[in-house]
Amino acid sequence: MAIAPQTADLTAVCRSDERGAAHVRDILDRIGDKWSMFVVSLLERGPQRYGTLARDIPGISQRMLTVTLQRLERDGLVTRTSYPEIPPRVEYALSPLGESLQEPISALATWAYAHQAEFAESRERYDAKQN
Amino acid sequence: MAIAPQTADLTAVCRSDERGAAHVRDILDRIGDKWSMFVVSLLERGPQRYGTLARDIPGISQRMLTVTLQRLERDGLVTRTSYPEIPPRVEYALSPLGESLQEPISALATWAYAHQAEFAESRERYDAKQN
DNA sequence: CGGTATCCGATGTGATACTG
DNA sequence: CAGTATCACATCGGATACCG
C-alpha cells in the first residue's frame, strides 16, 4: 500500500496488468462509454423503469440501453428488480455504490461544464493550424 | 477542498446534440480512452519528453502515445514545445487547464481505488450467476 | 529522437426483427 | 413491457515498417 490516505495516484492505479482485480481502468471504461453516465444521472432522481429510461434518453437504442444497464448491474452500480406481474415491471435503481459515485462524477461534470469554452477554443485553434 | 458550490447536472450536460460546443461527452471521451489519464498523471510530475513517456508507460505503442498526446494537445490539456536542436527535443507539459483537471480526476481515482473490491466482488457474483 | 504511414483485428454501437 | 438475436459498420488500438 504505497498509496496516500486521501488521494490515489493514477500512475500506480491505472495499470491493468495485475491479474483479476478491478482497476481504475474498469471504472474509467464505464465512465467513458457512451451511455452509462447518462443512465446514472437519471437514476439519481430515483428508481426508474426500462421504458422510462428509454423515453428519457434521446437517441439510445434498445440494445444499448439493455447492454448499458447490464454492465452497470454487473459492476454493482445499479440494481435490477423485476416484479413478476403481467405485464412485466422492472425497476432499476442506483445501489449505494452507485450513489457514492455521484460526488466524484458531479465534480467532473462541474469541471467539464466550467471549462467547455476553453476546450472548444483550443480545438478550433488546433484544427485551424492543421491546414 | 470541497466540491464547487453549484454542481452541474449530468442529464443536462451529457447530451451531444447541440452544434459546435464542447460537451461533457468530449471530456468523458478523453478521460475514458485507454491512455490519456495515464499520460496526464505522469505529466503532473512536470514536463516530460516523448521518449521518457514512452519508457514510463508500459505497453503503449508509439502510435498510441502520439495519438494520445495530439488529442490532449488539441483539447488544450497539454502543451507541446519542440526545441530546434539536433537531435530533436520535444517536451510535453500540462497546461493550466490540464492541471486543473487534477482535482476532479484524483477524486475519481480515489473513489475507484476505495471501491475496487466491491466492484470486483459484484462482477464475480454476476458472472457466477450467468451460468 | 520523435515521430508517420499502413494494415488489420477487436470492440463498441446502431438498425431491425422477433419474443415471453 | 422489457427485453433477445442477428447483422452491419465505425472507431479504437496494436504491429510493423519507414522518415526528417
Establish if A3 belongs to a structural domain: no
Any domain includes A30: yes
Cell output for B60: 503503449
Task: Give dist(CA B20, CA A42) in Å, integer.
Answer: 25
Contact B14 A33 (CB under 8 A): no
Q: Does B87 sit behind a cis peptide bond, omega within 30 degrees of 0 on the bond before it? A: yes
**pLDDT > 70: what percent of chain B?**
84
| Cα separation, A10 vs B39, whole angstroms | 10
Which band of pLDDT confidence, cut at 50, 70 and 90, is reported for residue A130? confident
Range of the domain at A19: 11-130
Q: Residue by residue, what is the 3-state secondary structure of B6-68?
A: CCCCHHHHCCCCCCCCCCHHHHHHHHHCCCHHHHHHHHCCCCEEHHHHHHHCCCCCHHHHHHH
State whether the Cα torsion A57-A73-B35-B12 is positive or negative. Answer: positive
Q: What mean pLDDT is reported for chain A?
A: 87
Coil, strand or helix: which one is A4?
coil
Choose among B68, B70, B76, B108: nearest CA to B94: B76
Instruction: Tell me which protein residue sits closest to nucleotide D4, measuring alpha carbon to C1'.
Output: A63
Protein CA at B86 to nucleotide C1' at C11, angstroms: 41
Q: How confident is the model at residue B102 (pLDDT cuts 50, 70, 90)?
A: very high
Which of B113, B108, B39 lies closest to A5 in space, CA to CA? B113
Residue B39 is assigned to a structural domain of this protein: yes
CA distance A63 to chain B (A): 19
Q: State mean pLDDT over A47-55.
A: 98
**Placement of cell 480515489 in the chain:** B110
pTM for the full model? 0.90
pLDDT at B18: 52
Nearest CA in chain A to B128: A74
Query: Domains in chain A: how many in total?
Result: 1
Instruction: Determine, yes or no, domain membership for B101.
Output: yes
pLDDT 10s digits, A3-42: 444 456 677 666 655 555 557 888 899 999 999 999 999 9
Let me know how long chain B is: 131
Cis geometry, peptide bond prior to residue B104 (ω within 30 degrees of 0)? no
Q: For position B3, what pLDDT does the model report?
A: 41
Residue ranges of the alpha helices (H) in A20-101?
Answer: 24-32, 36-43, 50-56, 62-74, 96-100
At B78, which CATH number? Answer: 1.10.10.10
Q: How far apart are CA A2 and CA A4, in angstroms?
A: 7
The answer to whether position A36 is within a domain reads yes
A122 part of a folded domain: yes
Q: What is the pLDDT of residue B11?
A: 72
List, in order, residues 6 or more apart from A51 with CB less than 8 Å away. none
Q: Of chain B residues 81-120, which have a CB less than 8 A from chain A?
A: 97, 100-101, 103-120
* B61, B83 contact by CB (below 8 A): no
Whether residue A99 is contained in a domain is answered as yes
The verdict on residue B3 lying in a domain is no
